[in-house]
Amino acid sequence: MRATPTGRVIGLVTVIVAAVLGSAYTLGQSMVAEPSPQATGLSATPNEPHYADQPPEATPGRPGGPTPGAGSHAAEPSTSGQDGGVGQPAETESPDGLFGARATTGSAEVALTFDDGPDPRYTPQVLELLRQYGVKATFCVVGENARNHPDLIQAIVADGHTLCNHSWQHDVLLGKRSPDVIRDDLLRTNAAIRDAAPTAPIVYFRQPGGAWTYPVVSAAEDLGMTPLHWTVDPSDWSVPGAAKIADFVLNGVQPGSVVLLHDAGGNRQGTVDALYLILPDLTARLRLEALPTGTT
C-alpha cells in the first residue's frame, strides 16, 4: 500500500518526538549525582607507623570526631576502622566502645600522656620541659624502645613520671590475637621496662591505636594493669604543626582529661614545640599530674 502524504508527515513527527524524548532522558540521567563512596579510614596492620595511634573518625577529642567530653568513640579499626589513623576489631563492643578502658583521670587533675617512646631525640626534650614547669606525666612506652634506651626509662622514673605498657612493638592488632600471644607481648614489654627500672611500678596498659578488645583488656587486668585510653587527641602523630596541636589541646582540655601526645614514632618536634604553648597555659589554670600508681 502506498503511504499518503499525511501518513508520511505523521510518521516523521513520531520519529522526531521519540528522538527528543530519548535525548531528554539521557541528559536527565547524566545529571543525577553518583553516590559518593563512604570514607573508611586507613587500614591497620602491625607494620603501621608507630604514630598511627588513633581511630580516623571516632576517637573522643580527635579533630573531625566527637568533641572532648561529647561521648564515646565508635568501633574502630574500623579503627574504628582503624588502626588509629588506622582498622578495627570485629567483636561487638561495649556501649562506650572502650571495653572498660579508662578514659579520664577520675578527678579534677589533668594527665598528659606520651606514647611510643622513649626516643633519644624527643624524650629528653619533653622531660626537660616538664621539669621546667614542675609537671609529672605518664609515658606509655614501647617494649623494644625500652630495651634499646634503658637510660631514658631510668630518666623518666627518676623525674617521678608514671610508666605505662604500650605493647612490645606497637601491634595495633594485638587485641585480635590469641590470649597467650597477648599475655606474652605484655609480659615481654614489662620485662624490658623492669630491666631498666626494676622497682618502677607498671600499672597501666594502653592498646596501640586504641583498638580495644575484651581479650586485651582482660589480659592487662589479669597482669595488674589498668587499660588506659584518652579524652583529648590532637592527632600530633599526623604532624599538623605546633600551633594546631597546642590550640586543640588548650581548647579541649577540662578537669579530668587524659591528653594523648607522642614523644616517638616519627618527627615529634612539633609536639615538643607545642609544649612551650601548652604547659604555661595549663599549669596556670589546671592541675597536671601523672596518673597514680598506688604507691608513694
Query: Would you name the residues annotated as active-site residues?
Result: 115, 262
**Gyration radius from the chain CA atoms:** 27
Spatial separation of the C-alpha atoms in residues 214 and 191, rounded to whole Å: 23
Tell me which residue has cell 547524566: 30
The answer to whether 117 touches 139, Cβ cutoff 8 Å, is yes
The answer to whether 144 touches 117, Cβ cutoff 8 Å, is no
Judged by phi (left if over 0) then psi (alpha if -120 to 50, else beta), residue 116 lies in left
What number of CA atoms fall less than 13 Å from residue 92's CA on the CB side?
1
Query: Which grid cell sits at 256?
Result: 579530668
Closest CA to 84 of 263, 272, 294, 260: 260
CA-CA-CA-CA dihedral for 163, 167, 168, 174, to nearest 10 = 180
Angle between helices 214-222 and 179-196 (to 10 degrees): 40
The answer to whether 260 touches 235, Cβ cutoff 8 Å, is no
